[in-house]
Every structure is written in structure tokens, then in C-alpha cells.
Amino acid sequence: MTDRCFPDNGPVARGNTRITTQGRADFVGHYFRQRTIHSAISLFGLVIIVFFLARLTGNPMDLLLPVDTPQSVRDEFSARHGFDRPLIVQFGQYLSDLVRLDMGNSLRDGQPALEHVLAAFPVTLMLSFWAMLLSLTIAVVTGSIAAWQPGGIFDRIASLISFLGASIPDFWLAIVGVLVFAVMFRVLPTSGTGTPWHWVLPVSVLFVRPCGVLTQVVRSSMIAALAASYTKTARARGVKSRTVIFGHALRNAMLPIITVAGDQAAGMINGAVIAETVFGFPGIGKLLIDSILFRDFAVIQAAVMLTALAIFVLNIGIDLLYAILDPRVRHG
């Protein structure tokens, strides 16, 4: 997980010194430079790891060609794709292509790998967006109400359901969802895309686990916030419960919630593998699984690269959100 702190060696005034606007701008610029450098280093490391680990799993020609294919033909196919060359030479070629933003072609259909990835990525982003929106909304409302009276009936029921949600295997939930809503009641399509109804089951399967986890986090974070002196004061002054919970306590309880939500979102962007595979959603998770099974190296590498970039952007966004929500972070 990326650390959620701004670097402490930046040109930020400390102690009692007041921060000027120029100083804050310098700080933000410095922060982005640092994060970009760190991200570039991580990305390069990732490129090396994915390239060599993928090739450790074997020659794609072994999988592409039928088992009965003579060795001479396997050798011919391997040579045409450069798989017979030393690994380090292949890596050098890959890097030189990458500099020109050429991520190679898919072994399966000869189309540019980037084209496959760019077609799949928006689907995953949309799926993740709706699932996270639903998770966060339900978790914040449920966790906050549960925290208002810890140990009460609502808290117990919410805790039980959220524990269940966090523990249910996605795959089981997906298949049961199809059997109940598509086969038994016939109110939803089993799979595929095309209408908003096709999104209901995949989003439902995808949001359950993060929602369970987040509800737990919101609850514990809110219990601490509601026990703080400022909320007690607000209550004593007769401020409405709703205002105390959502106006005072929640804002102060948001930092751990954002941290966990960020991790959950990164997991989804990484590929909502189960939901995409079961429901036939042409997203990045399904693309990655198919590419790994066929050792389609170019697509694997392009998908990992783009996913990593998205996660870096997400992390930066979360850091910025910290700064917006918490003045202590904003002012160093």
C-alpha cells in the first residue's frame, strides 16, 4: 500500500511559521515530482518483473499450437515471433519498442495489444465506479448509524451482515445470483452487456465484499469519532443526531475510510476477475486471465502497465483527497 503522507523533506514551513501561497504551490509541485519519480521507478521494476516472470511460464507456441505439432514447426513458429532469442535480447527489443509506445501485437489475433487493453479498460472502470459508489454509500450510512448505538439491535444486524458480505466468496455469489435472479425468478439477464439490467448482477457481486469491509471500518472509525469531546459537546448543545453524525463525526472519521476504500478500488481496477469472467464482461480482468492462459505476453504486459498507471493515479488522487479533507495534512 502506498503511504498516505506527504514527504517531510519538502519546502514546507514547519512549527509556528506561516505557510505562504507560493510555499504551498512549491510544496505541491515538489510532491508531484517526487511521486512521479517514485511511480516511474516502480513501473520500471514492474515491467522487468512481468516480462521475465511471464516468460518463466513457458513458450507460448507450446500453447498456441496443437499438442501433436511436430517440433520443427514449433521451432519455426517460435523463431518467427523471436521466442528463440536469448531473454535479454527479447527484453531489449521490448524496451526499445516501449519507448516508441509500441506494446506489441496480440499473439492470438495479431491486433495491437494496446487496442485490446484500451477496449477493456473502460468497462472495468465503469464496473468499479458503480460498485465503489454503491459500497461507499451503503457502508457510510449503515456504519454511521450502527456506530450511533454500539451494541444496539441495528449495530448487531449491520455487523452480522457486513461480516457475511466481507466473507462470501465472489464466485459462489455470482453463480447463486444467476440461479436465483436469472433462472428462478427470471427478472435479470444471466450475463453479458447491452442494457442497464446487465450491470445489476455484476455490480451487485462486486460491491458486496468492499461494502462489508467498509461498513466495519466506518463503524469503528465513527465509534471513535462519536466518543470525541467535540461530538459530546455538540450533543450536549442539542444539535440534531443527523447533524452530529454526518456533519461533525463523519468528516473526522473519513481518513481511515478513504484509505481502505482506496485499497478496495485499486483491487477492482486491477481486474474484477470473478465478476468479469462469470458474467462475460469484456473488462481488464477477463482480458488478463485469457491472456495469461494463452501466454499472450504482449497483452499481459500492456494490461499490467495500464493497470499500474491507473493505480498510481488513484493513489495520487487519494492523497489529494486527504489534503482536502484534513487541514492537518493540508497545512503540513
Partner 1 sequence: MAIKRTSALLGSAAVIFGLMGTTAMAQSDDNAITVVTPLAYDNLDSCNSSADVGVVVRENVTEALTHLNPETGVPEPRLATSWEQTGPTVWRINLRKGVTFSDGEPFDASAVERSLERMFNPELDCLNRGKLFANIRLTPTVIDSHTIDISVENPQPLMPIFMSFLTIESPNTDFDSMTNTPVGTGPYVVSERGVSDPIVLERRDDYWGETPAVAKVTYLQRSESALRAAMVEVGEADIGLNIAIQDAINPETDMAYLNGETTRLRFTFEGPLADIRVRKAMNLAIDREMIRDGLFTESYRIATQMFLPRINGYNPDIEPWPYDPEQARALLEEARADGVDVDAEITLIARVNFYPNGLEAMEVMTAMWQEVGLNVNLQTMERAQWLRIVNKPFAEPRDTMVIQEQHDNNSGDATFTMHFRYHSTGQQSEFGDPRLDELIDAADVATGEERVSLFQEANAYSASEIVPDVMMYHMVDYMRVSTRLDFTPDEVSNSMLELSKIEFNENE
Query: Where along the sequence are the contacts to partner 1 (CB under 8 A)?
Result: 57-59, 62-74, 76-77, 80, 106-111, 115-116, 119-120, 175, 178-179, 182-183, 186-192, 195, 197, 200, 277-280, 282, 287, 290, 295
CA nearest neighbour of 217 among 151, 264, 270, 171: 264
C-alpha cell at 231: 461530538
Grid-cell match 499500474, residue found: 308
Q: Which is nearer to partner 1, 48 or 187 (CB)?
A: 187
Q: Which is nearer to partner 1, 110 or 327 (CB)?
A: 110
Q: Which is nearer to partner 1, 6 or 297 (CB)?
A: 297
Give least dist CB 75 to partner 1, A. 11
29-52 burial, b at 16+ Cβ within 10 Å, e below that, comes to ebbeeebeeebeeeeeebbeebbe
Q: Which is nearer to partner 1, 135 or 277 (CB)?
A: 277
Question: In DSSP terms, which residues pair with 112 in a beta bridge?
Answer: 105
Chain centroid to Cα 136, Å, comes to: 14
Q: Which is nearer to partner 1, 9 or 71 (CB)?
A: 71
Give least dist CB 274 to partner 1, A. 10
Judge contact between 54 and 295, C-beta under 8 A: yes
Give least dist CB 302 to partner 1, A. 13
Q: Which is nearer to partner 1, 66 or 238 (CB)?
A: 66
Q: To the nearest 5 percent, what fractions of the chain are helix, strand and coil?
A: 75, 0, 25
Judge contact between 205 and 177, C-beta under 8 A: yes
Q: Which is nearer to partner 1, 47 or 174 (CB)?
A: 174
Question: In DSSP terms, which residues pair with 322 in a beta bridge?
Answer: none
How does DSSP classify residue 98? Answer: H
324 in helix, strand or coil? helix
User: How far is CA 23 from each of CA 26, 318, 327, rounded to the nearest angstrom?
Assistant: 5, 22, 16
Give least dist CB 323 to partner 1, A. 38
Going 210 to 215 to 220 to 226, the CA torsion angle's sign is positive
C-alpha cell at 332: 503540513
Q: Which is nearer to partner 1, 116 or 209 (CB)?
A: 116
Beta strands in the chain (DSSP E): none
Judge contact between 19 and 332, C-beta under 8 A: yes
Distance between CA atoms of 151 and 143, rounded to whole angstroms? Answer: 13
Give least dist CB 81 to partner 1, A. 8
Q: Which is nearer to partner 1, 73 or 224 (CB)?
A: 73
